[in-house]
Structure 1
């Protein structure tokens, strides 16, 4: 049977053969390896880490990067993979984002050749998991207020501080940790401006087996239960002088990595929306009341039509951003439009789908409540709605309101 959504919205006509190939590969993996276990894993709060090497073997880890065993796929192909993974569950797209868009991108863009050689090939295969430790317990949306410190002592870096909501940290072999340096460290790095300022934000490649590094999974989550987020403590973690990412100077480096992740969310959140839309369409055809399918009712058709329109708009925006990214023309403000719109519309679509499913929509017979719960986390991380609104407000008015 022709898919009713695809029959109305012919996205395939806008994609290349290579992009469709990546999409189909991701769809096959997500629906054969992830979907059969996702409800049980969500209920149990279980991260199925044994599947990470399979993601690596399929080429999805760091797939937008080139060299070091990475696939070198284009931005739209990467977005489509995010879409298909999040169709099943946001936790799995989050893993690909944390591993590839955050940790691997930081090392690839800002690391030394030795750091790239040491970590990227292993991360591309899934042999090594990485995490990206930026957010702090009291910092949230204000990384400039970072309290984690890196002091230079006896030719070594010493890191002290705390991070929170760090994805995969307890499973990771390597953490990219962001900390504020001291003047001595900046002087050792030969950065006179950084030394004069008393230090600046820098990234550090931290093996998670280093003494003083501890990651504790956050308990009690009602969202993102197929993935892991942690509190991270850094208590006198000693690192060699070359542990610093040499190309990362200031907050622009982690913000660039966050932009990569936000781009993936623009596609991924629409995957969750599509799953909810598909469930609602199927239920509207199979459930009968008053002697006919509920899909024959005017109000149900109006809901489905509105959901389809918002889904199509979200996908066209994602594709537009992907083509801009191909040209090297994608701006942070455009990424904020994508992330803000995608998550907001996905939550709206999921909520509307729940009404069509009726009481059964709150059960695990359908994926909608799980997607709704996950999307509330996606809404918050990589920039809250309010942060993206302020980014866009600044672009429109020229006045920062942060």
Structure 2
């Protein structure tokens, strides 16, 4: 088995030549750009130097946005593969790419004016602008419809008041797509720019997870918003939820990369580490762990591939996306934990990526919809009855 290549069901046969080229290219580029430094940055709670420009240079920002707006014009499977290879290095890298692509570029493309698209999307694709997405609030996480951030009419524009938290790229963003409730109770998307009066950011520190990711809060104290800075083609919760669906889809692929990285380390270590006079790979309990990990990774690969096909055909439902996000993140977290067991005490040190992946995945299982909420979304789809 080649390192970093887990394909037990010959899934490569279902991928196009372009897909395979994308995978191999992003794998190599991400390894060179981030592989050697990622443990140092995570251990030091440091941001990754030149992260966004490097991602822009790789072509992973807005890969599914049409080329006329600076995107890659690629399909959804290509996007998923890119997220997989970035998260194989670290979830913080995939998070940054996911936010820029699915939570900032996607709503501007889907709901923005032609002027907004032309002015912002090419710069976002090239990482000349860094974007953030403001939905989660201090008092409203799983219940975004209860948001307290408000948009009130003022002269020929609006005043925005409120706060958002747990925002990736908050402290480094040039623009932010923020969701707020207007005076009619409708959910509106607004585009803010760094330096606007009343718009402040604060970085979140002392995290045990996603330590190489720039996370923070956004504060709005009567920020004046022009009419032209509202996303004109959406006035409902469908706006932010459609963004989350795009991001959740990417996560379903991304976490497979983290799981594969942990699994490969566990396999290699088990073949080299000897106890009782023979490699630990020869013992039944270690083989059980490895066999179960490979099985779950394979199931997740098939789930995300099929979801990608449905996405390409515009047939994927939010409920299907929820199932894949929940299942695959739980799978990756379990693989990380089992891999750590295979390595014993060595599993906790920085020379190996497993504990870093494990701690990152503790965030991924919560953001973009918690594990429990995604279960209830599936339950509602089954029964027709909402449990929340």
- Is the shorter-chain TM-score for this pair beyond 0.5, marking a shared fold? yes
Q: Give the secondary-structure state (helix, strand or coil) at the position aligned to 2:37.
A: helix
C-alpha RMSD of the superposition: 1.2
Structure 1 residue runs of 4 or more that deviate by more than 6 Å after TM superposition: none
Among 173, 181, 193, which residue is 1:207 paired with?
Answer: 193
Equivalent residue, structure 2, for 1:387? 373
Name the CA shift for 1:3/1:218 in 2 (closer, same or farther; >3 Å).
closer
Structure 1 range deviating more: 289-298 or 136-145: 289-298
C-alpha distance in structure 1 between counterparts of 2:5 and 2:192, whole Å: 46
| 2:363 corresponds to 1:340 | no
Partner of 2:207: 221
Q: Taking structure 2 as the reference length, what is the TM-score of the superposition?
A: 0.98
Q: Distance in 1 between matches of 2:188 and 2:171?
A: 22
What's the CA shift for 1:358?
A: 0.6
Deviation digits for residues 349-380 of structure 1, max 9, x if unmatched?
11110110011101111111100100000000
How far apart in 2 are the matches of 1:356 and 1:348?
12
Structure 1 gap segments, 5+ residues each: 183-197
Structure 2: give runs of 5+ residues left out of the alignment: none
Match of 1:96 in 2: 97
**Secondary structure of the structure 1 residue equivalent to 2:61:** coil
- Hey, what's the Cα distance between the residues in 2 that align with 1:330 and 1:6? 25
C-alpha distance in 2 between matches for 1:285 and 1:226: 31
What's 1:80 paired with? Answer: 81
- 8 Å CA contact 1:103–1:132 kept in 2: the answer is yes
Structure 1 position 3, deviation (Å): 4.5
The aligned runs of 1:142-291 (5 Å cut-off) are: 142-182=143-183, 198-291=184-277
3-state SS of 2:159 partner? strand
Indicate the SS of the match to 2:21: helix
Which whole-Å deviations, capped at 9, do the CAs of 1:196-222 have from their partners, x for residues lacking one?
A: xx2311000111211111110111100
Cα pair distance change 1:386/1:4, threshold 3 Å: closer
Distance 1:78 1:259 in 2: 13
Q: Residue 5 of structure 1: CA displacement?
A: 5.8
What is the number of residues matched between the two proteins? 387
Closer, same or farther: CA 365–327 of 1 in aligned 2, 3 Å:
same
State the shift of 1:401 in Å.
Answer: 1.1
- Aligned equivalent of 1:140: 141
Paired residues of 1:5 and 1:308 also in contact (CA < 8 A)? no
Q: Secondary structure at the match of 1:204?
A: strand
Which residue is equivalent to 1:54?
Answer: 54
Indicate if the aligned counterparts of 2:85 and 2:257 stay in contact, CA closer than 8 A.
yes
Question: What's 1:187 paired with?
Answer: none
Aligned partners of 2:64 and 2:72 also within 8 Å: yes
State TM-score, norm by structure 1: 0.94
Question: 1:70 aligns to what SS in structure 2?
Answer: coil
